[in-house]
Amino acid sequence: MTYDLTNKTAVVTGAASGIGRAIARRFAEAGARVAVVDVAEDAARAAAADMHGVAEAFACDVSRQPQVLDTFAAIAERLGAVDVLVNSAGVAHVGTVESTSEEDFDRLYAVNVKGVYNGLKAAVPAMKGRGGAILNVASVAGMVGIPDRFAYSMTKGAVLTMTYSIARDYVGEKIRCNAVSPARVHTPFVDGFLARNYPGREAEMFEALSRSQPIGRMGRPDEIAELALFLCSDAAAFITGVNYAIDGGFTNLKM
């Protein structure tokens, strides 16, 4: 068996940048017809145009269920019924429970939790009777205590439990559902975070964040994408209900 998605339709949310974009690109290279789904329409179009293979952009706010259902219907019409779903869309937040406002909490819940639910709500009925693969992008923040990540950790813990629930409920329908939990990955978000919060100290703080992984560096989006491709391909046909920490040793090797 190979990491092959030929003749399969793959939907990747949050695919205009970062980890989502890397996953979408890798899926296109593996032969999939890829739906590049993102709230940022222009960026989604640019990402789709940059991929080697069949990729189309779809503008969608994953927190709004009517939009998600309409988008999946459009994807099925243009690319075929969904075979693979990657829930990668997400937003971040820094803060404790005291510094997290209700607006912050609701915003993270809407995208990181409800957005995953909406994707599942649209994809699972289309996969029943045919089978399919679902991958949810969680985080090490949902597995271990990380300072100043109260709301973000809450959402990623919910992503993990949704993963296990879908895997259990639909194993008889040949729908597999797994999760990946990255530690820090070098994406444009990281660069923007450092520029906003540590002006003039970006290089110093980048190095400090890199050292927080025992392996001594941040992950790369393409490394997450390679694991995603394996888990969504037939090479992983015996794997469901599993969370993979891809974290440079962060969760198990901390001193």
Q: Are 42 and 20 in contact (CB under 8 A)?
A: no
* 142 vs 218: CA distance, rounded Å: 18
Chain centroid to Cα 189, Å, comes to 14
Q: Give the active site residue among 3, 152, 170, 244.
A: 152
Residue corresponding to tokens 């996953």: 23
Distances (CA, A) of 112 to 2, 54, 118, 197, 229: 31, 27, 10, 23, 21
- With CA atoms as reference, report the closest residue to 51 among 20, 82, 89, 97: 20
Q: Annotated catalytic, 152?
A: yes
End-to-end CA distance of the chain: 38
The single-letter code of the amino acid at 192 is: G
Whole-angstrom Cα Rg for the chain:
17
Q: In residues, how long is the chain? A: 255
- Structural tokens at position 12: 């990747």
Give DSSP secondary structure letters for 158-182: HHHHHHHHHHHHHGGGTEEEEEEEE
* Contact between 110 and 215 (Cβ < 8 Å): no
Active-site amino acid positions: 152
